[in-house]
Structure 1
Amino acid sequence: MTQGSQGLHERHRAVLPSWLSLYYERPVELTHGEGRYVWDAEGNRYLDFFGGILTTMTAHALPEVAKAVSEQAGRLIHSSTLYLSRPMVELAERIAALSGIPDARVFFTASGTEANDAALLLATTYRRSNQILAMRNSYHGRSFSTIAVTGNAGWSPTSLSPLQTLYVHGGVRTRGPYAELSDADYIAACVADLEDMLQQTAGGIAALIAEPVQGVGGFTGPPDGLYAAFREVLARHGILWISDEVQTGWGRTGDHFWGWQAHADNGPPDVLTFAKGIGNGMAIGGVVARAEVMNSLPANSISTFGGSPVTMAAGLANLTYLLEHDLQGNARRVGGLLIERLRAVTAGLDVVREVRGRGLMIGIELVRPGTDERSAEAASLALEAARARGLLIGKGGQGGAALRIAPPMTLTVAEAEEGAALLADALGEIQGRLAAS
């Protein structure tokens, strides 16, 4: 770390919260990027396999987005939702049409946390209940209400809550009491668990909120069809389904544009939330809901920063680029290759329990070699070893033992091969270090 970076780290610690996490023993200051690569203040180049937490969706310094931002900023940066905004209406029209939700309405926010917070407000108001179903190992944001429906202890700093949250099985396929079942039996067991919970609950439940693939949870998810089976139960009780697409949206999973479409036997969710990738780094989040749910709030509301002209211009340019260049198809093709390549290069490593995921949303669960014990130590060491080789990845999962891989969706085959080789080398080093300790 240079003196400049060291000084910046010290300044960071002096004025920012102690709980604001930084990666790496020597935190890195990123200064610029291009395509799938970024550079730090010391001039080191990295292949970016995390995209600012799945947010640099298309590419760093994408000319189309930079041009849209610059042109809009030169005309008008801010107005608020108290005034008509052509970019906001145009992006809302496109997202409503893509959502699959009939008679859809769109509300823009400045983050995924705020989007999920708004979805919870809509559901509890519409159903006149503060009871929420959520998935174990889930993550939905850092606000008071979204922490209240987060099922991952590492990201839930308080038990105080404005909601009564009930957690159901289904988000983690390869661990837990149903792990050894077939997919069909797994779904049946999770549905039975849901039915049993509803029988034990007094009063009406407002909604189930669920990530089709759990993001912070380590890119784990249920068999396809689980949420369709859940939906049949929910519909009988009038319970809404909120699909948290903050990380799974926009084609990242490859097979589908939205994560919910892997569970689409009986139609779209009642409410869908989005954020991260749509702005390619600009602060955009939002909620899509059918009109009767969206319009159920009995009071006025605005958003000062949600739907800002500059972020809407960025979102329009980014979405246009994604669709015109079939980045969903690229995620399916290159992501499929990357998953198989990672499975091949880690096949002989005891530190790797599982390579999972779909498209460009890949998790690698690490364990202490020779055991099935999750190893947060291995994940932290792997993060450092990958960085030393010029590769940026993320981590999360149960016990902090999973590596998270989510490159920009323009990733090439050559870059996928490069990243897999770098990560295999890093994991080989980690296995040796852990085995010797």
Structure 2
Amino acid sequence: MESSDLYDRHRAVLPPWVPLFYDDPLEIASGTGRTLRGTDGKEYLDFYAGVAVNTLGYDVPEIREAVERKMRTGVVHSSTFYLIREQVELAERIAAASGIDDPVVFFTTSGSEAVETALLLATHHRQSQQVIALRYAYHGRSFGALSVTGDRAWQAQGLSPLRVAYARGGDKRNGGMNTLDDTAYVHACAQDLREIIATGTPERTAAMIVEPVQGVAGAVPLAPGQLRAYADVLRQHEILLIADEVQTGWGRTGRYWGHQWHEVTPDLLVFAKGVGSGFPLGGVVGRREVMTSLPGASVSTFGGNPLACAVALATLDYVDRYDLPAHALAMGELLRETLDAHMKDPGVAPLRGTGLLMALEFADELSGEPDVPRAVRVQERCRRQGLLVGLGGAFKNCLRIMPPLTVTAPEVRQAADILAAAVADDAADRQGPLAPPAHSLD
């Protein structure tokens, strides 16, 4: 009754466009490692990590100590009008890790705010409101971030502060290019971008914003060399490259940054989510020429506050000490191999993604059309068997899989067993499928 009562209260005071997973929405009570406990009294293996935020899992001693140490000073906020030691130290760490020449860092409280900042800097620096984004991209919920989001399901309305053109993402099926190999596809994408710049935009374009792996679209990686090809075209026209690393940063793809798989260096890099281990923190790191181009003063009141930065420093120490990028790559491959060996279903595509940013896609076996109800049913079955995964994809027919980067091999095998069993049970029980909940994402 308590959970039902809380759901009723949620619906009464929160807007209907804030969705909840599950027919019986879950309230989290506590967590340790990669295990969460609900107020329903059950334990769950977490393979969603608060939408890729909880990089290290739960109840991590190093994070708890960083919080307690800062809390004991009595100052968790002072504003950026004062020197903040943790902020400077964190900026130095991120600048050094970015690979960008002569980098400058600005902190925000979220990925959406960080994207807004990058767009503001790029459009001012280039004196143009024209931006290129990718089809099926997701960049946040605020005005400018929604403008460059290429997924209609997440766009609140058609108004925009920007002019936006859309280039091809990583999924070859979009536009009927699935017969091309990677080399041919990358060539076609580069040519498409040239045509967009030549005929579909004003003479001066500010920037192109790209997710190295399109997370909300269903963990769709760009094709090998695709971002490199885009960067070469952009450089010819002096168009800035913005890498949106909100979901792909801090080792989740098996590299520190997702763009490193393509051997490119962006002009601006947007980060958030996993760096704060649950504390609100985001930002932009970029070339000094661009980052310092704004003529007036600006500030993010809570961005880079002492407490969040202290937690981020402890998080990055942990990531580096245990080489979590390499661990994420190994655990992602283990999950892929285990599922490939134990899950055979013509309606489920092979596990897609990079590192521990992955997705399972469901489609009708005969028509190939996205099977949204089945994705919802399998997500529900996973919960019943003690596994939490997300729901998303460009057509909302994917299970999103992104556990904390500290996940262990036994936990990966356990998750694979649950996923395979949930898919098999659903296939065997087609006569009485669960109806999708009214408040799901479909």
Give the alignment partner of residue 47 of structure 1, picking from 34, 41, 45: 45
Aligned to 1:390: 386
3-state SS of paired residue (2:139): coil
Cα-to-partner distance string for 1:284-326 (whole Å, 9 max, x where unaligned): 1010011010001111001110001100000000110110011
Aligned position for 1:430: 426
Query: Among 69, 74, 78, which residue is 1:71 paired with?
Result: 69
Which of residues 318, 328, 333 in structure 2 aligns to 1:336?
A: 333
Note if contact 1:351-1:431 (Cα within 8 Å) is conserved in structure 2.
Answer: no
| 1:286 to 2:283 alignment | yes
The percentage of aligned residue pairs carrying the same residue is 45
The equivalent residue for 2:234 is: 234
Task: Provide the C-alpha distance between the structure 1 equivalents of 2:10 and 2:432, rounded to a whole number of angstroms.
Answer: 36
Deviations 1:83-109 (A, max 9, x none): 100000000000000010010001110
Give the drift of 1:398.
1.7
Report the TM-score when normalising by structure 2. 0.96
Partner residue of 1:29 out of 2, 27, 31: 27
1:172 is paired with a residue of what secondary structure? coil
Give 1:396 shift. Answer: 0.9
Q: 2:268 aligns with which of 267, 271, 292?
A: 271
Instruction: Within 5 Å, give how 1:226-375 maps onto structure 2.
Output: 226-254=226-254, 256-264=255-263, 267-346=264-343, 348-375=344-371
Q: Deviations over 1:33-54 (max 9, x none)?
A: 0001000012100000000000
Match of 2:213, SS?
coil
1:16 is matched with which residue? Answer: 14
Amino acid at match of 1:358: T
Change (3 A) 1:126 1:435: farther
Show CA shifts across 1:250-270 (max 9, x none): 11111x211111111xx4100
Q: CA deviation at 1:436?
A: 6.9
Distance of 1:246 and 1:364 partners within structure 2: 21
Q: Please tell me whether residue 108 in structure 1 is matched to residue 107 in structure 2.
A: yes
Contact conserved, 1:136 with 1:152, CA < 8 A, in 2?
yes
Further displaced range: 125-134 or 334-343 = 334-343
What is the alpha-carbon distance in structure 1 between the residues aligned to residue 346 and residue 427 of structure 2? 7
What does residue range 123-272 of structure 1 map to in structure 2 within 5 Å? 123-200=122-199, 201-254=201-254, 256-264=255-263, 267-272=264-269
Give the secondary structure class of the aligned counterpart of 1:357: strand
What is the CA distance between 1:203 and its match in structure 2?
2.3
User: 1:379 offset after TM fit, Å?
Assistant: 1.1
Q: Distance in 2 between matches of 1:15 and 1:119?
A: 33
SS of the aligned residue for 2:359 comes to strand
Cα distance in 2 between the residues matched to 1:117 and 1:432: 47
CA displacement 1:122-176 (0-9 Å, x = unmatched): 1000000000000001000000110000001111121110000100113323443
Residue equivalent to 1:411: 407
Stretches of structure 2 that go unaligned for 5 or more consecutive residues are 434-442
Root-mean-square deviation (CA, aligned residues, Å) is: 1.2
Spell out, residue by residue over 1:345-404, the C-alpha distance to the aligned partner (whole angstroms, 9 max, x if none).
22x212202321121111111012333111111111111111010000011112101111
Q: Distance in 1 between matches of 2:2 and 2:363?
A: 36
Structure 2: distance between partners of 1:33 and 1:189: 47
Seen in structure 2, the aligned counterparts of structure 1 residues 436 and 59 have a Cα distance that, compared at 3 Å, is closer
Quickly say closer, same or farther: Cα 1:206–1:363, change in 2 above 3 A. same
> 1:350, 1:370 within 8 Å by CA — same for their partners in 2?
no
Amino acid at match of 2:18: L
Amino acid at match of 2:338: R
Q: Secondary structure of 1:107's partner?
A: strand
Aligned-pair CA distance for 1:223: 1.4
Regions of 4+ moved over 6 Å: none
3-state DSSP of counterpart to 2:36: strand
CA distance in 1: counterparts of 2:303 and 2:165, whole angstroms? 30
User: Distance between the aligned counterparts of 1:182 and 1:47, measured in 2?
Assistant: 37
State the Cα deviation string for residues 192-218 of structure 1 (Å, max 9, x = none): 111111111222110000100001110
| Contact in 1 for aligned 2:130/2:202 (Cα 8 Å) | no
* Aligned residue identity for 1:221: P
1:84 maps to what in 2? Answer: 83
Residues 178-235 of structure 1 deviation map (CA, whole Å, 9 limit, x = unaligned): 2210000000000111111111122211000010000111000221211111111101
Give the gaps of 5 or more residues in structure 1: none
Do the aligned partners of 1:212 and 1:243 also contact (CA within 8 Å) in 2?
Answer: yes
